[in-house]
Amino acid sequence: MIETRSEPTFDKGLANTIAAESEMSYIDGVNGVLEYVGIDIDTLARSSTFEETVFLLWRRRLPTTAELEHFNAEIRREYQLPEPLWTTIQQIPATATPMHALRTLVSALAVHDEEADVNTPDANERKAIRLLARTPALIANFDRHRKGKEFVRPDATQDIATSFLTMLNGAPPTETMARALDVCLILHADHGFNASTFAALVTISTLSDMYSAVTTAIGTLKGPLHGGANEAVMRMLEEIGDIDAVEAFVKEKLVRKERVMGFGHRVYKAYDPRATYLKTFAGQLAEDTGNLHLFEMSRAIEKIMHDAVGAKGIHPNVDFYSATTYYSLGLDIDLFTPLFAMSRVAGWAGHCIEYLLDNKLMRPRCDYTGPHGIEYVPIGDR
């Protein structure tokens, strides 16, 4: 239990502020540890599935076989979008970016949910399941819409990763591809009070609603300092183009005091444990799909960054090797962040439900640095 202080303290960016308690994920930034409900992320990535991981995060324990079957059935029952949503997707301009489209469409889900404003734990869990189940169809079918392709409806015989890739590509993925996506979904599912989760909590703490909270979170995730970094990494790899150009590119960036995308983290000053597993995974996948040059370039960037700024605690974060992984899966670059969102819905919704059990309005102060006592001059006299 952490004591709360009555006197406000100034903490820019809230870097040293603990805003609430949570039983969902544990991060040790010094030793590079991430656990979901006490289970090491590496073990989950190797042994679990996304759906089982969501059960773990939401119910704080692993399911039995029967419980997992039941949970899977509950999710799949909610796969189908409310019918009017298909028209809403078509109304979004094909030129819109998928993150703008996703934010709009998740918000639109609320107006077709009679329980949108019911904030009981049961109703919120049902909405959490709907959000988790429907986000993949929104992302995949917006992509089909912008490419002038027919919609593909979700298939309730498939798990989330398989169903998403089937909708996106119009054909079922190989088992390896589906498993690769499943692992990425596990790794991104939750991460303490990151910026988007915190944004969701600010919204839910006003006793607003789950759809508003997740819409807020999607807008927050989009920024390049947060979830948008995976897209920025891929664009950087494309800009560099060749392994021989890596050294000059990275060194120039550092001289100009610019950020190298996919490096550094607010909490991890050791290697991001999600990146450890993704690195091996990305290498294998890149080799299998003829994208080894991207992985080799990534490794070269990592080496130069390690020598230059590793001592300052700047290492690859989850986004760095996600970029090569998603690219190897054949995904368009602007779908990388929506995929992050598809997974993080689990964390956002879980934290909202948990926070509402003992809600307190999130409302920090600001340190006013402007003037006082200024005379109001009528507009005609200015």
Ligand X SMILES: CC(C)(COP(=O)(O)OP(=O)(O)OC[C@H]1O[C@@H](n2cnc3c(N)ncnc32)[C@H](O)[C@@H]1OP(=O)(O)O)[C@@H](O)C(=O)NCCC(=O)NCCS
Of all helices (H) and strands (E), which one includes residue 265?
Answer: none
Amino acid at 256: R
Q: How far apart are CA 26 and CA 35, in angstroms?
A: 5
* Near ligand X by CB under 6 A: residue from 30, 225, 245, 248: 225
Under 8 Å between Cβ of 85 and 135: no
261 scored as a contact of ligand X (CB under 6 A): yes
Query: Residue 162, SS3?
Result: helix
Build a one-symbol-per-residue string for 227-256: x at contacts with ligand X by CB under 6 A, - elsewhere: --x---------------------------
* Near ligand X by CB under 6 A: residue from 264, 273, 283, 347: 264
Build a one-symbol-per-residue string for 183-222: x at contacts with ligand X by CB under 6 A, - elsewhere: ----------------------------------------
| DSSP secondary structure letter of residue 25 | E
Q: How far apart are CA 260 and CA 271, in angstroms?
A: 16
262 scored as a contact of ligand X (CB under 6 A): yes
100, 112, 226, 306: the active-site residue: 226
Of 204 and 260, nearer to ligand X (C-beta) is 260
- Number of residues this chain uses to bind ligand X (CB under 6 A): 16
Amino acid at 355: Y
| Cα distances (angstroms) measured from residue 127 to each of 118, 133, 192, 348 | 10, 10, 21, 12
Of 131 and 318, nearer to ligand X (C-beta) is 318
User: How many Cβ atoms sit within 10 Å of the Cβ of residue 347?
Assistant: 27
C-beta pairs of 117-120 under 8 Å, 24+ apart in sequence = 117/209, 119/207, 119/209, 119/210, 119/356
CB of 13 to ligand X, least distance (A): 6
Of 82 and 223, nearer to ligand X (C-beta) is 223
Residue keyed to tokens 């079957």? 69
* Near ligand X by CB under 6 A: residue from 260, 282, 331, 353: 260
283 scored as a contact of ligand X (CB under 6 A): no
Among candidates 145, 123, 297, which has minimal Cα distance to 210?
Answer: 123
Note if 319 is an active site residue: yes
CB of 312 to ligand X, least distance (A): 6
Of all helices (H) and strands (E), which one includes residue 11?
Answer: none
Q: How far apart are CA 113 and CA 116, in angstroms?
A: 5
* Near ligand X by CB under 6 A: residue from 106, 199, 275, 314: 314
188, 265, 315, 351: the active-site residue: 265
* Near ligand X by CB under 6 A: residue from 259, 269, 293, 306: 259
Under 8 Å between Cβ of 146 and 334: no
Residue keyed to tokens 């992302």? 139
CB of 158 to ligand X, least distance (A): 30
Of 205 and 337, nearer to ligand X (C-beta) is 337
Note if 265 is an active site residue: yes
User: How many Cβ atoms sit within 10 Å of the Cβ of residue 179?
Assistant: 16
274 scored as a contact of ligand X (CB under 6 A): no
| DSSP secondary structure letter of residue 170 | S
Residue keyed to tokens 């003037």? 371
324 scored as a contact of ligand X (CB under 6 A): no
- The stretch near ligand X (CB under 6 A) out of 212-220, 243-251, 262-270, 362-370 is 262-270
344 scored as a contact of ligand X (CB under 6 A): no
326 scored as a contact of ligand X (CB under 6 A): no
Tokens at residue 84, please? 């009017």
Note if 226 is an active site residue: yes
By the criterion CB under 6 A, which residues form the site for ligand X? 225, 229, 259-266, 309, 312, 314, 317-319
Q: What residues act catalytically?
A: 226, 265, 319
